[in-house]
């Protein structure tokens, strides 16, 4: 059987894909904020508010209470999957496939908008009670459904990775961290959660709960359906079991095993990257409105030019590299957040303190702005 590890140093693709997903998801999130501001300006003459709570109801902002209880909820979900996986695997697979379909359609939407712009108007087509959709939205959803169906039939790891990428981008784009305080609460709690379930769960449950749940394949719904309906021994029985898209997997250079990185290790630091990108843009607007007022006198101009986004993204790369080295040294699964959280949060906190922005970033920093800038140097 194939062996799995959380990260594999031989797979450079893990680094590249995770960083690209974070960057792309962060910019999709920022672009959604701009679009919501434009809609507010079109619908009302009152000035819009540039903050994490958008008028778009699909965007979810995490508050302090949710940040504290999220690791607890994740632990309960992990235990349910550990003890009752055989009972809930089909339902969980179907729900995951539906969410992955929607998320991958969101990932494909910009490409479909580009392809359909020359030959199709942007008018929405009505589908009755289902809603109104543009041609680009219908095309992206159709392609997503097709990919999910092929994944169900083949179980190929590359298709599973594509669905996991869609989930990562959608979660980064639609979830907001409103302040550095909430970011620290969330990431610190998830660090403890990750460390406990990877390092200490085996002492209580006689098994590494995190690794077992992450690597356990589920029965294919087509196989289950054929058995329930008694369709015969050859109908639906040759479909493979499915490894669910809750992770990115890449084969090693020898093909003897797969490296694995959970999407939580991409999404949770990605939410922090999304927050600092929005703050960089907010601060750029504020400096532009104040005619380029310089920062504190004890900070050099070069330090002022370094963005929080660049600093945190470099920290994420170094943390992921450190997790890879630790995994190879110990030859065992490692809790990636143990390395990613310190390497992202500590440089960010240090730079915010040196620049004099720590107090503003700590409590919700996005105040009302009368105008928005669509351009951010990255």
**Catalytic-residue membership of 357:** no
Q: Choose, from 33, 161, 194, 357, the residue flagged as catalytic.
A: 194
Q: Single out the catalytic residue among 33, 265, 280, 357.
A: 265
Q: SS3 for the chain, per residue? A: CCEEECCCCCCHHHHHHHHHHHHHHHHHHHHHHHHHHHHHHHHCCCCCECCCCCCCCCCEECCHHHHHHHHHHHHHHHHHHHHCHHHHHHHHHHHHHHHHHHHHHHHHHHHHHHHHCCCCCCCCEECHHHCEECHHHHHHHHHHHHHHHHHHHHCCHHHHHHHHHHHHHHHHHHEECCCHHHHHHHHHHHHHHHHHHHHHHHHHHCCCHHHHHHHCCECCHHHHHHHHHCCCCCCCCCCCCECCCCEEEEECCCCCEEEEEECHHHHHHHHHHHHHHHHHHHHHHHHHHCCCCCCCCCCCHHHHHCCHHHHHHHHHHHHHHHHHHHHHHHCCCCCCHHHHHHHHHHHHHHHHHHHCCHHHHHCCCCCECCCCCCCCCC
Identify whether 194 is a catalytic site residue: yes
Catalytic residue list: 194, 265
């Amino acid at each position: 059987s194939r062996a799995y590890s959380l990260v594999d140093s031989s797979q450079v693709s893990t680094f590249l894909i995770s960083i690209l997903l974070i960057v792309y998801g962060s910019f999709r999130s920022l672009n959604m904020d701009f679009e919501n501001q434009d809609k507010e300006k079109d619908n009302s003459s009152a000035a819009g508010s540039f903050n994490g709570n958008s008028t778009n109801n699909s965007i979810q902002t995490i508050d302090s209470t949710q940040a504290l209880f999220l690791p607890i909820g994740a632990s309960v979900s992990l235990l349910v999957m550990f003890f009752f996986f055989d009972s809930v695997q089909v339902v969980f697979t179907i729900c995951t496939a539906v969410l992955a379909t929607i998320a991958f359609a969101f990932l494909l939407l910009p490409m479909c908008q580009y392809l359909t712009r020359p030959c199709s108007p942007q008018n929405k087509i009505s589908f009755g009670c289902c809603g109104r959709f543009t041609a680009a939205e219908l095309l992206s959803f159709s392609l997503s459904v097709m990919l999910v169906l092929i994944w169900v039939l083949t179980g190929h790891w590359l298709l599973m990775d594509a669905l996991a990428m869609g989930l990562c981008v959608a979660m980064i784009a639609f979830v907001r961290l409103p302040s550095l305080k909430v970011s620290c609460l969330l990431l610190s709690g998830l660090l403890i959660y990750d460390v406990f379930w990877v390092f200490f769960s085996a002492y209580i449950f006689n098994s590494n709960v995190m690794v077992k749940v992450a690597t356990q394949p589920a029965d294919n719904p087509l196989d289950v359906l054929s058995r329930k309906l008694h369709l015969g021994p050859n109908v639906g029985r040759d479909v493979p079991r499915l490894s669910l898209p809750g992770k990115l997997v890449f084969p090693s250079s020898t093909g003897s095993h797969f490296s694995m990185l959970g999407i939580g290790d991409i999404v949770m630091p990605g939410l922090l990257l999304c927050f600092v990108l929005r703050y960089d843009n907010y601060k750029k607007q504020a400096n532009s409105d104040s005619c380029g007022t310089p920062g504190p006198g004890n900070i050099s101009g070069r330090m002022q030019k370094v963005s929080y986004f660049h600093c945190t993204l470099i920290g994420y790369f170094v943390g992921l590299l450190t997790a890879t080295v630790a995994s190879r040294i110990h030859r065992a699964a490692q809790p990636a957040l143990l390395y990613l959280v310190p390497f992202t949060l500590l440089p960010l906190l240090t730079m915010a303190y040196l620049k004099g922005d720590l107090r503003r970033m700590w409590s919700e920093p996005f105040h009302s702005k009368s105008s928005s800038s669509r351009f951010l140097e990255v």
